[in-house]
Structure 1
């Protein structure tokens, strides 16, 4: 969307507006931000969102809430069709002021698909206005799912984290990170938890989980994904995956 069109879209005199998009595999949207809060849903494919505060990934049946004014970049995993809604801050309600991944119920999915067909300047008091109001209510009611990865702000930790995310492995140990920063193990664990709000082991597992989802979505075999991420077997990887997401990795693997 050209900049002038984007400005006009944001300025539409309606509390909620929607639009869809189609993107090729590996397409990236450079860092940008919106005046409105955005719910980004991929009706096909998977999207990965990065902000200064962390990373989020939305596989099928999930969407990412991005609060107004939050700088974010988007990477498409596979061919992606998006359905996004943009909500004025005063009617955001309980969606919150922090990024989160939410579960998309069948009703919310239907509303997101239908909202793209609604005229931009719809009748607020008519059927289209009711549809948009219900959509906002469903976004507020949607449960969060654990598909976030907080990123540290400390320069040393940030560099190690960025390198790890390039080649994540559950076998990588905390002592190597502490040694790289010239810190004792105990001091490192305190710093890491203060910076991320998570233990190193939990963060490492979450990073591997987020790395696994795009691989599975692209059709890679579960065993191959497990071994690439440092797991000793597909069974141990599948156990972690099911505990985290409630489903086996085969459910996320493309046919």
Structure 2
């Protein structure tokens, strides 16, 4: 995907990729400790004329750091969409990206026509678990927690079959700035999107992975029960990042959602 850009629509410079085209746009939102590259294989399964937007949230990839809450991350995304004239889009977010998508649907419903909420929840974790992770990352760096994080991200089968890829995903995680990572941890810790989820009024698919140790299927099911009319699916043998393990199936789900939206 071409069209790599930098822009500061909401006070911080954000690295993003834009592809203009025709039809309804698809917008991708990443998880904690990842960047836009986790969507590349999914994009390959979509119509090449589909308009697309991907971005690195604050403190990740090549984007500038800056402590903001979930509303701030949603405002960053809204600013990029406004900048490029995108609206009425299908938003696909994984983990914290799914939380950003829920916040965007509440704050800027004009931008959202449908949602694929992958491996996420209306609330993720507890204050105690997030505070412990923040303390460890700020004291010892992300490398200190990388092993357990990768085990939650990707299923045992994927890890065994893809040792070279695991080296790459480890590098992506550990090269995330510790301060940027910790800032997003705080945003997740402080976010309760129960009301946002209940207020979603667009076609929504909530996707889980049976091997997800970060946002297990029961959490995703709880989110689906909150969202009016939401569909729930669980991919067997998949961890926290279906876009890496089953990109073709994620692309198919997006195409089906497109048809459902009309």
TM-score of the alignment, normalized to the shorter chain, above 0.5: no
Higher helix share: 2
Higher strand share: 1
If asked which structure has higher relative contact order (CA below 8 Å, sep 6+), I would say 2
TM-score range, shorter chain: under 0.3
